[in-house]
Structure 1
Amino acid sequence: MIRRRSFPLLLLGALSLTACQTSGSDRGADLVVPADAPAGTYWRGDRSLAAERAQIVARTAQEWNDLWARVGEAAPVSLPGDRMAAAVFLGPRDSAGFGVVIDGAQTTDGGLRVGYHERVPGPTEAVALTQTSPYAIRLLPRVDGKVLFQRRK
């Protein structure tokens, strides 16, 4: 059992660990994507208009607007010229509890590898029986070349 006097110390320690995060450079062999993306660079949700699973890259204003049309919303910001967007759409699901997170990106010879995780509810998890269509969109430094998406376990 935690005593009341020690709780503030535990909370302070947890907050300190949360604040210790490394982020990579936009240049170099590896591009590390921080877990806490700055506001206006990462969007996720469980309701999109995507009718199928898709992994999409947007480098132009038109591609950016088309990407947001799959979400069913207007683009929240203009696509910066030095950025591109990577998006993962899971497509329709018959219940809540599903999700997707874009959590990594690495430069490769001539391109970029984007890593993502899918969340699948467990067999004993209580979820709402409502149709969802999860998505994640992340702005990344612009890389010309092929973009490969890699689902991580």
Structure 2
Amino acid sequence: MRRRHLLLLGAAMLVPGCEWAGSALTGEAPFWAGSAPGQGGARARPGIDGEVRWSGQQAAVQGRALLAARTDEEWRRIWELAGEEPPGPLPDGWMAVAVFAGVRDTGGHSVEIGTVGPEEETGMPPRVHAVYRIREPAPDAMVTQALTSPWAVRIVPELPGPVRFSEAGS
């Protein structure tokens, strides 16, 4: 059985695009932390310092809002509404989607942004579809008795067209 696992692991390391699996076993950093395998130059980590998702419990905005950002001004506006400093500039060729759930009367609530991708309909211009979920605490969960305003921001490679948001399960 042990031999079978080693064979499967070895096969996974040989699959193109799985350079990181080998690096993880040797203790080397993934390719985006320095030079890409087979390339001489350094390649930046995806996103901003390797992050593509951010969330919090206390947005500055108290109402519900669904926003997209493709410019630096729009990016800064999202972070003003979150009540935080931007983690860095919006990378070239990337866009952001943000969901602000509005005020909740207890803790335990959160926002998750799921899939963000192209949505094409015959005869219509392209648009982006962003799916999100607002999680509620379980009915018997112990939660803080304080007003919260959960939010989430996600960046993805830029897609053309307006953004259509939909809540998962609704």
Give the TM-score normalised by the residue count of structure 2. Answer: 0.66
One-letter code of the match for 2:79? W
Which is greater in Rg? 2
Correspondences of 1:86-105 after superposition (within 5 Å): 86-105=97-116
Could you report, residue by residue, the CA deviation over 1:11-33 in whole angstroms, capped at 9, with x for unpaired residues? Answer: xxxxx9xxxxxxxxxxxxxxxxx
- Pick from 45, 53, 59: which aligns with 2:56? 45
Cα distance in 2 for residues equivalent to 1:71 and 1:44: 9
- Which structure is higher in RCO with an 8 Å CA cutoff and minimum separation 6? 1
Aligned residues: 118
Q: Contact (CA 8 Å) 2:103, 2:148: kept in 1 or not?
A: yes
One-letter code of the match for 2:100? F
Q: Contact (CA 8 Å) 2:117, 2:159: kept in 1 or not?
A: no
Q: Which residue of 2 aligns with 1:62?
A: 73
Q: Identity of aligned pairs, percent? A: 34
Cα distance in 1 for residues equivalent to 2:53 and 2:142: 28
Correspondences of 1:5-44 after superposition (within 5 Å): 39-44=50-55
- Pick from 102, 121, 125: which aligns with 2:137? 121
- Pick from 131, 137, 142: which aligns with 2:153? 137
Could you report, residue by residue, the CA deviation over 1:44-86 in whole angstroms, capped at 9, with x for unpaired residues? Answer: 1111111100100011000000110001111111001200000
Unaligned ranges ≥5, structure 2: 1-8, 10-45, 121-125
Runs of 4+ displaced beyond 2 Å: 37-40
Could you report, residue by residue, the CA deviation over 1:87-145 in whole angstroms, capped at 9, with x for unpaired residues? Answer: 00001111001001001122112011111111111222111101110001000111121
Q: Which residue of 1 aligns with 2:163?
A: 147
Q: Which residue of 2 aligns with 1:82?
A: 93
3-state SS in 2 of match to 1:105: strand
More helix by share: 2
Unaligned ranges ≥5, structure 1: 1-15, 17-36
Give the TM-score normalised by the residue count of structure 1. Answer: 0.73
